[in-house]
Structure 1
Amino acid sequence: MHVITFEEPGAVSVSLEARSELAPGCVRVRTLYSGVSAGTELTAYRGTNPYLSKKWDTGRRLFVDGSTHAYPLAGWGYQEVGEVIETAPDVTQPSAGSLVWGIWGHRREAVVPADRLAGHLLPPGADPLTGVFARVGAIALNAVHAADVHLGDQVAIFGQGVIGLLATRLAVLSGARVLAADAIPARLALAGWYGAADTFDVREGSAAEFARERGDGCDTAIELSGSHQGLHEAIRAVRKGGRVVAAGFYQGEGVGLRLGEEFHHNQVQLVASQIGGVASWLAHRWDVERLQRTFMELVHRGEIDTGDLVTHVMDVTQAAEAFDLLDRRPTEVLQLVFSFEGTP
């Protein structure tokens, strides 16, 4: 079975792995499409992911000396959709022939516990490509929940990649007036189509100053560019006592992040959002599974259209070319998806 492997920084291969045995309680899923999360996966491609240079101590929740992962890294990816082609004798749902979304990595086939796919069926007639957005949609919804958006709030969203655009739409659905900021005009145009009241090209100046020219600043900002400069600008954009949700995957040291300025003087709340869990004040009602299912329900009710987010569908055998494109020409790509339909 074909699987994508990061052999070392900058080197990607498509190799073969043995077919797994079908265990009790499991189903065999044949992948149709697998979406690339450019932020997370480029950290593996570039060798900047903290798991590669430090060990994550799960008990103490600290990064310590050592490493958590090492090359080669096979089967990264968390945006998969496929067809159930075989079920263990003790499994009744999902049945063979069902289209399901979930997480099993960039591989042609996987054996997945059936209970992990409960509620993950695509409805009849749904475009299978919608399934690749379940996890990134949950990340966006998690950030919007962490922002504690209220009807009428002014919300700035920095970074209009896939997750930023989805956060823009979700914030609009939550009743916010959204200012979308990015450096790519095509993405700002999509943000407007998703309902952003204002868009700002960050190449033209300060989004924070733009926000304050239109009032006292934003109630909340969500930072999804993964840039420390973007995080600093998000902090500048909010009112005194406002909240900034840092939801990007920041790499390296915080160059450009000056916490002695607006953060300190405006008593800004800085909240981290990461898909490993939900906001602490919502944990008694929400979990990651509910985030994913809620997002997919919105998609299949027609309240979120993911169709225009897919800019590239490439055969899995083109993996090396795909990651080179994402690394060298990221402004040309929004959502890149691998197709496995033609592979054995």
Structure 2
Amino acid sequence: MPHIVQFTAPGEVALVEIDPAPLTAGSVRIATWYSGISAGTELTAYRGTNPYLTSSWDAARRLFVPGEPSFAYPVQGWGYSEVGQIVEVADDVTDLRTGDVVHGIWGHRSDAVLPASVVAARVMPPDAAPILGTFARVASIALNAVLAADVRLGERVAIFGQGVIGLLATRLATLSGGRVLAVDTVEQRLQVARRFGAQEVIDALRPGGASELIRDLTDGGADSAVELSGSDRALHEAIRSVVVEGVVAASGFYQGGAASLRLGEEFHHNRVRLVASQISGVPVRLGGRWDQPRLVRTVMEVILSGAVDAGSLITDVVSAPDVGDIFARLDRGDPSILQAVLRFDAAPLP
């Protein structure tokens, strides 16, 4: 029987059995090999803080409103960084075949049936490490944030949060010609940021905050900043770190209130431009040229070429039945974890 990761209640997650989906016209069946955990987003399901679990999303008005929550426990289907092998192809599918290894979004499940059109452009090269396909989505989020911050050759960009997406953003900003100042509270992550091209690494817990040092190091402030930690305190520091009319791309998934964010100080007096970056859309000014498929193509090109050493960010590959243990570690803030990946039974042995 196929299995899927299920959040049963806050703090409770397990692998449970589900019925197999039928193969329909125009579709393929994929046996999942690997599924990357996006800790920031998925911990909101694990902890019960995701707004869909606490309020109702009005899609027509694009508002969260009081009422019956849009989602309720048990919640299944979380996950957006999957790689697997096509094991069955509908009779009318001609551009894919059994044995093809593809990446895409189908959640933490062992078996998925998807339209062939969804994965036709996502076939992994035969000489590539399949697990690299788990970075397509998270690297796209990082690239979208770098685009939102309008990073240009020679400009200084402060990147707050050096988790997996922050580290990918550091590398992508460096490849774009930016001079990155990487900010985090974990020394091991700052060391990786240095290896990924950051010119300066800064402990976010230093006296006076990161912004004061950034202003000193840049002789007046960074041209832009990207905030990827999801902390309102970090967002406030990002706002304090940029020049007059500098741009701050708020790319973290912020939960709860924002007691540390004060908009009457540097935000107001320096006329800081605060923009939200979220993977459902690209920056408006780039809409005629960029879209989500281009984000994916671009990041996979630089990852598969070796220009971005995404594979080095994988710290934990765990058997899917052990999903509860890895989420407990993530919830505790285990600093040794960067990218955790679930391995399903169909995956080839290393």
- Bucket of the pairwise TM-score, normalised by the shorter protein: over 0.9
- Tell me the TM-score normalized by structure 1: 0.98
For the residue of structure 2 that corresponds to 1:248, the secondary structure is: coil
1:295 aligned partner: 299
**2: CA distance, partners of 1:327 / 1:161:** 14
Task: Give percent identity, aligned residues only.
Answer: 54
2:216 aligned partner: 213
CA deviation string 1:239-258 (max 9, x = no partner): 01100000000000001001
**1: CA distance, partners of 2:346 / 2:326:** 17
- Superposed, 1:325-344 pairs within 5 Å as 325-341=329-345
**2: CA distance, partners of 1:330 / 1:245:** 26
**2: CA distance, partners of 1:256 / 1:7:** 32
Structure 2 unpaired stretches of 5+:
none
1:255 aligned partner: 259
The CA RMSD over aligned residues, in Å, is 1.0
* Runs of 4+ more than 6 Å apart: none
2:177 aligned partner: 175
**1: CA distance, partners of 2:18 / 2:111:** 10
- Superposed, 1:317-332 pairs within 5 Å as 317-332=321-336
Residue 69 of structure 1 and its aligned partner are, at CA, apart by: 0.8
**1: CA distance, partners of 2:294 / 2:28:** 22
**Across the two proteins, how many residue pairs are aligned to each other?**
343
Q: Which moves more between the two structures, 321-330 or 163-172?
A: 321-330
Residue 118 of structure 1 and its aligned partner are, at CA, apart by: 2.3
**1: CA distance, partners of 2:102 / 2:141:** 19
Of 281, 288, 295, the residue aligned with 1:284 is: 288
**1: CA distance, partners of 2:113 / 2:65:** 33
Does the 8 Å CA contact 2:156/2:179 hold for their aligned counterparts?
yes
Of 126, 130, 133, the residue aligned with 2:132 is: 130
**2: CA distance, partners of 1:341 / 1:306:** 23
1:272 aligned partner: 276
Does the 8 Å CA contact 2:33/2:346 hold for their aligned counterparts?
no
For the residue of structure 2 that corresponds to 1:332, the secondary structure is: coil
Of 65, 72, 75, the residue aligned with 2:74 is: 72
Residue 342 of structure 1 and its aligned partner are, at CA, apart by: 5.7
**2: CA distance, partners of 1:9 / 1:17:** 21
For the residue of structure 2 that corresponds to 1:18, the secondary structure is: coil
Residue 324 of structure 1 and its aligned partner are, at CA, apart by: 0.6
For the residue of structure 2 that corresponds to 1:321, the secondary structure is: helix
**2: CA distance, partners of 1:342 / 1:272:** 38
**2: CA distance, partners of 1:307 / 1:203:** 29
Residue 341 of structure 1 and its aligned partner are, at CA, apart by: 2.7
2:8 aligned partner: 7
- Superposed, 1:1-344 pairs within 5 Å as 1-66=2-67, 67-205=69-207, 206-214=209-217, 215-341=219-345
Q: Which moves more between the two structures, 47-56 or 200-209?
A: 200-209
- Tell me the TM-score normalized by structure 2: 0.96
**1: CA distance, partners of 2:78 / 2:149:** 29
**1: CA distance, partners of 2:96 / 2:47:** 37
